[in-house]
Chains A and B, each alone.
Chain A
Amino acid sequence: EADIYQTPRYLVIGTGKKITLECSQTMGHDKMYWYQQDPGMELHLIHYSYGVNSTEKGDLSSESTVSRIRTEHFPLTLESARPSHTSQYLCASSPVEGRERTGELFFGEGSRLTVL
Chain B
Amino acid sequence: AQTVTQSQPEMSVQEAETVTLSCTYDTSESDYYLFWYKQPPSRQMILVIRQEAYKQQNATENRFSVNFQKAAKSFSLKISDSQLGDAAMYFCAYRGSNYQLIWGAGTKLIIKP
B78 located at the interface, meaning its Cβ lies under 8 Å from any Cβ of chain A in the complex = no
Is B84's CB within 8 Å of the partner chain A?
no
Interface SS majority for chain B? strand
Alpha-carbon distance A45/B50, docked complex (angstroms) = 20
Residue tally, chain A, CB below 8 Å to B: 23
Of A92, A102, A106, A108, the contact of B50 (CB 8 Å cutoff) = A102
The residue in B4, B45, B47 that gathers the most chain A C-beta atoms within 10 A of its C-beta is B45
Contact B101 A103, beta carbon cutoff 8 Å: yes
Structural contact, B50 and A103, CB atoms closer than 8 A: yes
Contact residue among B44, B52, B91, B95 (Cβ-Cβ distance under 8 Å from A43): B91
Q: Tell me the bound Cα distance from A48 to B98 in angstroms.
A: 13
Q: Which residue of B lies closest to A41 (CB)?
A: B105
Q: Chain B contacts of A90 at CB under 8 A?
A: 45
Query: Which residue on A lies nearest to B102, using beta carbons?
Result: A42
* Contact string against B for A residues 49-78, beta-carbon threshold 8 Å, 1 for contact and 0 otherwise: 000000000110000000000000000000
> Separation in Å of the B85 CB from the closest CB of chain A?
14
Convert B70-113 into 0s and 1s, putting 1 for each residue whose CB lies closer than 8 angstroms to a CB of A: 00000000000000000000010101000011111110000000
- Measured CA separation A43–B104 after assembly (Å): 8
Q: How far is the CA of A40 from the CA of B106 in the complex (A)?
A: 7
- Inter-chain contact A105/B47, CB cutoff 8 Å: yes
A109 within 8 A of B: yes
Bound form: Cα–Cα A105–B102 in Å: 13
Q: Distance (Å) between the CB of A100 and the closest chain B CB?
A: 9
Q: Which of A81-116 contact B (CB under 8 A)?
A: 90, 92, 99, 102-109
Give me 13 other A-B pairs in contact (C-beta within 8 A), A42-B104, A102-B52, A103-B33 excluded: A1-B44, A40-B106, A41-B106, A42-B103, A42-B106, A45-B101, A58-B100, A59-B100, A90-B45, A102-B95, A104-B47, A107-B45, A109-B43
**Interface set of B (CB-CB < 8 Å, partner A):** 4, 9, 33, 35, 37, 42-47, 50, 52, 91, 93, 95, 100-106
**Interface on A for B, CB 8 Å cutoff?**
1-2, 4, 40-45, 48, 58-59, 90, 92, 99, 102-109
